[in-house]
Structure 1
């Protein structure tokens, strides 16, 4: 039943048009603020592999994003942003075991930032683990109560819970 719920939640996310992850920081490569739900964008300094990974992730080319981010972390293992991008790529490929490992590496390097907590919450939401997703989003919200991406993800999570309980319109 959990698999059916995660597939159903993924379908809800797609239908709402609010998917996209908080890949890494609070500012996209082009300097625009993140306002959508999902993964938050993050700046990738001068690393062309990570920038390529971000472009592939934005284009929905998750396999290519994973390859680019993996090359980036192999070349620069202390690049926390690249680890978060790699984790987001793994999430989109359904490789949650590898995503969890990448998030752990990012946390070792950057700590539990709003971005990482949000992305982990989104990862758990994709899996259908509402309880863990909520805990991650709430922790991110405590760190940044005005973060619109986190707030949107909490709203999306709530809508998914209503759906599972048969309360959705």
Structure 2
């Protein structure tokens, strides 16, 4: 039986699959290892770079996450997914202004996206929660 000619195999396919599997299980250390392996095998795999960045976010290695997002943007441009993920990254860091800018840019590209709308709502809730009266007066 002959393989279809339009299906391509990339060396990063298996590590990306395993990275996603571990990420979805909450095993971010393992997902980071698999995504790192994927980008080493296929440096132009945007999905692998995004997965690596998201894994670094969960591990609170924001310096490395920023580098991985930058590489994903160099390869594939500022996509809705990358902008949304960067917004979430900034939200994790407590940089709510930067998070809002990323979410709003993503939302402008895809206004019907429920994930982005939910993240904006979450961000708005976070803002209300942490606002304090001036001079810490009750």
So what's the TM-score if we normalise by structure 1?
0.71
Query: Does 2:33 correspond to 1:67?
Result: yes
Gaps of 5+ in 1: 1-44
**Which of 45, 51, 66 pairs up with 2:17?**
51
Cα deviation for residue 165 of structure 1 reads 1.1
Whole-angstrom CA distance in 2 between matches of 1:166 and 1:52:
43
Measure the CA separation in 2 of the matches of 1:70 and 1:99: 12
Could you tell me which residue of structure 1 aligns to residue 107 of structure 2?
A: 141
Query: How is 1:82-97 mapped onto 2 (pairs within 5 angstroms)?
Result: 82-97=48-63
Q: Structure 2: which 5+ runs fail to align? A: 1-9, 134-138
CA RMSD in angstroms, aligned pairs only: 1.4
Q: Does 1:132 align with 2:98?
A: yes
CA separation in 2, counterparts of 1:88 and 1:135?
A: 18
**Following the alignment from structure 1 to structure 2, what is the Cα–Cα distance between the partners of residues 161 and 54?**
31
**Would you say 1:159 and 2:125 are equivalent positions?**
yes
Question: What secondary structure does 2:43 align onto?
Answer: coil
3-state SS of the aligned residue for 2:112? coil
Larger Rg: 2
Query: Which residue in 2 is equivalent to 1:114?
Result: 80
Aligned residue pair count = 123
Partner Cα distance (2:94, 2:119) in 1? 13
Instruction: Tell me the secondary structure at the aligned position of residue 157 of structure 1.
Output: helix
Correspondent of 1:98 among 54, 57, 64 = 64
Q: Distance in 1 between matches of 2:22 and 2:83?
A: 22
TM-score norm. by structure 2 comes to 0.87
Structure 2 counterpart of 1:41: none
Q: Deviations over 1:34-91 (max 9, x none)?
A: xxxxxxxxxxx87010010001000000000000000000000000010000000000
